[in-house]
Amino acid sequence: MIFKVRLIPVKMNEFYGFANEEDLKEIGIIHGDRLKLVKGSKSITIFPQPSQIVARGEIGIPINIAEELKVKDGEEIKAFPISRPKSVEYIRKKLSGKKLSKDEIYEIIEDIVNNSLSEIELTAFVVSNYLVGMDFDEIEWMTRAMIETGETISFEKGIVVDKHSIGGVPGNKISLIIVPTVASAGLLIPKTASRAITSASGTADTMEVLANVNLSVEEIKEITERVGGVIAWGGATNIAPADDKIIRVEYPLSLDPKPQLLASVMAKKGAVGAKHVVIDIPVGEGAKISDMKRGRELSSDFVELGRRLGLNVTCAITYGGQPIGRAVGPALEAKEALKAMEERKGSSSLLEKSFGIAGILFEMAGIAMNGYEYAKELFMKGKTHEKFLEIVEAQGGEIRRSEEIMVGENTHTFTASFEGAVVAVRNKAIVKIARAAGAPKDKGAGIVIHKKKGEVVKKGDPLFTIYAEKDWKLQNAVETARSDFPIIVSGMILDRYPSFKVM
Ligand SMILES: O=P(O)(O)OC[C@H]1O[C@H](OP(=O)(O)O)[C@H](O)[C@@H]1O
Ligand SMILES: Nc1ccnc(=O)[nH]1
């Protein structure tokens, strides 16, 4: 069928288009079916949505798709229905509990990269990995497929190292300190990070407060060779491009199944040709991994996957039972990290962890016997700070001082209603509140924790402050905090059952 193009002034992540209901009926397309649009030598597959905004004979195309297809408003275009890709069958095979072959996994990943799978199909793939899982061969094939369907970087000289956290602990801004520390010692660290998956700010969201994180592969290479390191968003590069598309469906579900987690992290490390890699595995209540046993199992999976891919991997099992440092949310976290570098002091959970992980990289690369001490020395001498500012500048950032970082102007502080000691700062509640306040999209939204586990509080002491850019989001976050209180003080009544009050 021939359609006349109607440009719709929106950009859509998914490949949607709009067609008149009558036309769709005539071609025999129902919800979830695909339509291939062909213009000259170019073609794109869309999921047409029935809509009255286009007349019969017209096809509504979002501007980003029109750009890709190089079509203009009013032009004619050929369209015909196509069947579902084979990979949908493979996803169903996984859902029924079976092992996939190497070719099947490659086809799924290729279809993800080419936007040939709908969000529903992609979600089914993630859920199948959550429910059924994958064996080691499948995980290796998926990781290799993710690397091979994107661009890779190779460095001609220098020792390339990298770090990655599996995530799951709020406030984990350690990469902002580790990358410059490691780079200041002469190692190369082309770090790509994801945006938030289960937290309120991923490293890419945090770094974006200070600099441009949308770097191309060429820019990552050039900046790393020139200043020693970068902190870039993996989703903007063409490095493991399937990764960010998968993360987009993981984020709303706060779900990060083990096969996806392993492949997501290791594909990014493999693609930049890292020789030595440290994986941070936070373990604790409310983190992705709740106990040491599972932490060790996951460590051994990372080491084995590294061995298969030719990367030397060490895992650091870290304490993840409460947030790292005191700030949660993009701008607040960027501020906390930069302030610590400026003042050469900060929260011990932030600094100890950063020195520890940078230290392991130093030992793996053979440039220090006591890596922790070496990292601490570089930090205390101001080398970390100096290098961080160089990296920010190289990535086009203009902020030089932590005071320049703007945070949300609408705030609310919760105080202790009696004396006691903090027995828990609950990760999941902290994330829920920070997200309700607007993080990670609203950069200035988040939480500052005034009292952490073990600290003594007096009646009236501030426990935590919520920051929001918009007042209505602050009110939402305050309500969320009231119903799911994040800081537990000993002696506190956690719940009342039955909950009715006798008047
Ligand atoms: O906590 P959640 O949001 O699940 O995980 C996502 C975060 O974990 C990783 O950390 P890093 O880049 O090594 O610092 C990712 O890149 C991302 O920043
Ligand atoms: N699934 C993931 C977890 C943490 N970091 C990532 O990049 N990916």
Domains in the chain (CATH in brackets) are 2-82 (2.40.40.20), 86-133 (1.20.970.10), 161-236+268-403 (3.40.1030.10), 406-489 (3.90.1170.30)
Task: Name the residue with higher pLDDT: 114 or 204.
Answer: 204
Evaluate: CB of 207 within 6 angstroms of ligand 1. Answer: no
Residue nearest to atom 10 of ligand 1 (CA): 165
Query: Residue 488: is its pLDDT beyond 80?
Result: yes
Q: Are 416 and 489 in contact (CB under 8 A)?
A: yes
Query: Residue 494: is its pLDDT beyond 80?
Result: no
> What pLDDT is stored for residue 503 in this prediction?
54
DSSP line for 113-158: HTT-S-HHHHHHHHHHHHHT---HHHHHHHHHHHHHTS-----SSS
- Kindly give the number of the ligand 1 atom that is closest to the alpha carbon of 288: 4
Look up tokens 């590294």; give the residue. 306
CA of 80 to the centre of ligand 2 (A): 38
Evaluate: CB of 271 within 6 angstroms of ligand 2. Answer: no
- Kindly give the number of the ligand 1 atom that is closest to the alpha carbon of 254: 4
Percent of the chain having pLDDT more than 90? 89
SS3 for 372? Answer: helix
DSSP bridge pairs for 465: 413, 448
> What pLDDT is stored for residue 497 in this prediction?
83
Mean of the pLDDT values across residues 51-64? 93
344/242 Cα distance (integer angstroms): 39
59/12 Cα distance (integer angstroms): 15
Contacts of 13 (CB under 8 A, 6+ apart): 248
> What pLDDT is stored for residue 181 in this prediction?
98
Query: Residue 195: is its pLDDT beyond 80?
Result: yes
Q: Are 90 and 132 in contact (CB under 8 A)?
A: no
Vertex 435, ends 448 and 133: CA angle to 5°?
A: 115
Residue nearest to atom 6 of ligand 2 (CA): 265
Residue nearest to atom 3 of ligand 2 (CA): 166
CA of 214 to the centre of ligand 1 (A): 16
What are residue 394's phi and psi, to 5 degrees? -60, -30
**For 304-328, what is each residue's pLDDT tens digit?**
999 999 999 999 999 999 999 999 9
Mean of the pLDDT values across residues 122-129? 97
> What pLDDT is stored for residue 299 in this prediction?
98
Q: Are 339 and 404 in contact (CB under 8 A)?
A: no
420/426 Cα distance (integer angstroms): 17
Task: Round the average pLDDT of the chain to a whole number and report it.
Answer: 95
Query: Residue 499: is its pLDDT beyond 80?
Result: no
Evaluate: CB of 168 within 6 angstroms of ligand 1. Answer: yes
Query: How far, in Å, are 28, 37, 144, 196 from residue 71 at the CA level?
Result: 25, 10, 35, 34
Query: Residue 501: is its pLDDT beyond 90?
Result: no
The number of the ligand nearest the C-alpha atom of 172 reads: 1
Report the run of H or E that residue 240 belongs to, with start and end: none
Strands 276-283 and 312-319, sheet pairing: parallel
Query: Residue 473: is its pLDDT beyond 70?
Result: yes
What are residue 287's phi and psi, to 5 degrees? -95, 180
Tokens of 73: 């408003």
CA of 406 to the centre of ligand 1 (A): 23
SS3 for 252? Answer: helix
DSSP 83: P
> What pLDDT is stored for residue 502 in this prediction?
54
Which residues have a catalytic role annotated? 256
Using most ligand atoms within 8 A of CB, pick from 162, 178, 194 the residue to mutate for ligand 1. 194
Q: Is 184 assigned a ligand-binding role in the annotation?
A: no
Percent of the chain having pLDDT more than 70? 99
CA of 76 to the centre of ligand 2 (A): 42
- Kindly give the number of the ligand 2 atom that is closest to the alpha carbon of 256: 1
Max intra-chain CA distance, the chain: 76
List the single range of 40-44, 107-111, 210-214, 484-488 with lowest mean pLDDT. 40-44
Contacts of 358 (CB under 8 A, 6+ apart): 163, 177, 178, 181, 182, 371, 375, 378
Evaluate: CB of 445 within 6 angstroms of ligand 1. Answer: no
Taking phi first (over 0 means left), then psi (-120 to 50 degrees means alpha), and beta for anything else, what does residue 28 get? left
List the alpha helices (DSSP H) in 327-396. Answer: 330-343, 348-364, 371-380, 383-394
Burial code (b: 16+ CB inside 10 Å, e: under 16) for 379-409 equals beeebbbebbbbbbbbbebebeebeebebbe
* In 410-486, beta strands by DSSP E: 410-415, 420-425, 446-449, 456-457, 462-468
Sheet strand arrangement including 487-489: 456-457, 420-425, 487-489
Using most ligand atoms within 8 A of CB, pick from 199, 246, 248 the residue to mutate for ligand 1. 199
